[in-house]
Amino acid sequence: MTDKRNLLLLFEHPTEPVFMDKGGNGTMFQVPDSYVTNRYNSICKKIQGRVSVGEKNHISVKEIPVPDISYPMTLGRSDEFSLFLKSHRQKAAHLIEIFTKMPSVEDLQSVAVYARDRVNPVMFNYALSVALLHRPDTKDLDLPSFSQTFPDRFIDSKVLRNMREESFVVQGLEARIPTVISVNYTASDLEVEHRLWYFREDLGVNLHHWHWHLVYPIEANDRSIVDKDRRGELFYYMHQQIVARYNAERLSNHMARVQAFNNLDEPIAEGYFPKMNSLVASRDYPPRFDNTRLRDIDRPVNELKVGIDDMKRWRDRIYEAIHQGYVLDMNNERVILDDVKGIDILGNIIEASELTINSKLYGDLHNKGHMLIAFSHDPSNKHLESAGVMGDSSTAMRDPVFYKWHAFIDNLFQEHKRLLPAYTEEYLSFPGIRVQSINVESQGQTNRLTTFWQESDVDMSRGLDFLPRGNVFARFTHLQHNPFTYTIDVENSSKDTRNGYVRIFLAPKLDDRNGIMSLAEQRLMMVELDKFVVTMTPGTNTFTRNSTESSVTIPFERTFRNLDSNTAPENSTEELINFFCGCGWPNHMLVPKGRPEGLSFELFVMISNYDDDRVNDQALECGCSDAASYCGLRDRLYPDRKSMGYPFDREPRRGAEFLENFLTPNMSTVEVTITHDNRIEKLPEVVNSC
């Protein structure tokens, strides 16, 4: 019987032939002769004999008639794959369908082995990942981190050169020294936007964006892979929260909030020079110079043609639909944008996913916008240049314009939210429940959090091809904070035990001019920190919650992990599954950086009635649940009936000009100061002597 874990080896060394050794222990696929590409057909066995460490590490591959993969193969092996290009999504969807319809794991392995050396490596990774996540017999597998199979998406190209040297020269028992990634490799301090390098270029932040689009594919031939509960609303909320978090970091660095890219005719003031090289394309990611103007794109090689007027037309039609309160489907029938499903419908239209209600009328605004920016340096393919970082979901968040673009996208959603009736005081209340006090404890301090810099290593050896085997580490410097604990005192004045849903948010207290923010402004700055269920007995109740338990984040170890030590507690299958669900905001970026002198934030806590918020399928088993706020739950409904971002997803009611006027007894706030300690928590150095 085929061990399904062998499928994970197909992700390793993505540009090497599939018959080469994998797993760091000489494991090899015994590839049928008919599966080997023409280049290596006559020498495959000789090569395997040269690098083999014994037959016990050989994986037998059954020879079966393989499906036609000529359509996915039309994307070249060295082309850049992009989820934002419809033609690429369609090719990937074809491959996903083939993988998901294989009747057994053994047949899936055979077809995947055959396809691996024939289709684009990044498309293969994406299609196989989606298939493994959605097949009942493989969905419990721990997919390898994208950063460890395609390290070029996350590090300076100079670092790759140093890692190759380390890999080639230092072999055997000697310890390889981690290659340190500079914090100033994309720009100098002369570039104001570079103050936010630690957010835009963070490994975990960019992995989150890639993984979210992996869990929520834009397109698939099997509609059920795309059609997940509240998918369009999740697209809105996850990206809205990214912009809110980015703005908190801007305030931490004495910068104004990001300005939405509302006028497509204006130049993009900020340039971006990624300093990265694509290992698949063997090309540098093209830069974008300051004050670049967008132009109509006509690139037949990418099957892409879109004009700025197209974008404006789609934008105006979406605004018109929002103001009318309905959209038109393909049959020209009205579909009401109500206060429950409206945001989900809009999310699918704006992205635009396969679920969009009318692609001909409302277009492909979000995805084509990414590509319009990504090809702004070569819109007609005159210079044969590939897309910039905005064309790839694993690199787009590195570019300052990503946040301007998504602030524009969020404005569309906020226009819909603005037209919805405000939540009434009665609706927000939870009779009999009063939040008496909130405290945040960290390192013996109350209501004071501290951030600092930390070094962490990531093994990228299995993404470095055609090199001697063995661990090769990159050393990242990233933001970190001291862990903290919430203590919440709640009074239940009723005679019954009540179930509550605790909702915790954080927002800056002052705006970029040091003025007190109105709630209409501040609600857009609210970042969700946690959400969890409590049981309140009559009388006073005290609840504590650790920051590491956040419903928003994945554990630190999931971002910076050792490929050879991915183990969960003994005899615990459920823990193993939970430990490696990859979608979620990185825990080390849970709170903003703050300032050396301290920056004031308002921590908001609300307890709503869980009996009203409960979703009916909560008794069903679920493997991935620890980062549900931004990623939902695998194979289940979103675990909250309320709108995402509640209670700050709508304009405040009349009279609630500031947060303090908005509070009902089941809410409370406390001022929290975040101080940045400008020190680096270093890892010990490895020293080799000759």
Residues annotated as catalytic (active site), given as ranges: 351
Contact at 8 Å (CB) between 428 and 450?
Answer: no
Burial (Cβ within 10 Å: 0-12, 13-18, ≥19) of residue 404: buried
The vertex-103 CA angle with 100 and 106, nearest 5°, equals 95
| C-beta neighbour count of 443 within 10 angstroms | 10
Q: How many CA atoms lie within 13 A of 212 on its CB side?
A: 31
Contact at 8 Å (CB) between 207 and 559?
Answer: yes
Q: Which residues contact 294 (CB under 8 A, 6 or more apart)?
A: 264, 265, 268, 308, 372, 373, 376
Residue 136 to residue 108: CA distance in whole angstroms: 13
DSSP string, 458-485: EE-GGGS-SS--S--EEEEEEEEE---E
3-state DSSP assignment of residue 268: strand
Q: How many CA atoms lie within 13 A of 679 on its CB side?
A: 8
Tokens for 499, please give them: 């179930």
Residue 258 to residue 453: CA distance in whole angstroms: 24
3-state DSSP assignment of residue 252: helix
Report helix angle 365-374 to 308-324, nearest 10: 150
Phi, psi (deg, nearest 5) at residue 35: -90, -20
Which contiguous run of DSSP H or E holds residue 321? Answer: helix 308-324
Picking from 285, 339, 228, the residue whose alpha carbon sits closest to that of residue 583 is 228
Residue 336 to residue 345: CA distance in whole angstroms: 9
Contact at 8 Å (CB) between 659 and 602?
Answer: yes
Tokens for 119, please give them: 């289709």
Residue 125 to residue 111: CA distance in whole angstroms: 14
Residue 162 to residue 614: CA distance in whole angstroms: 53
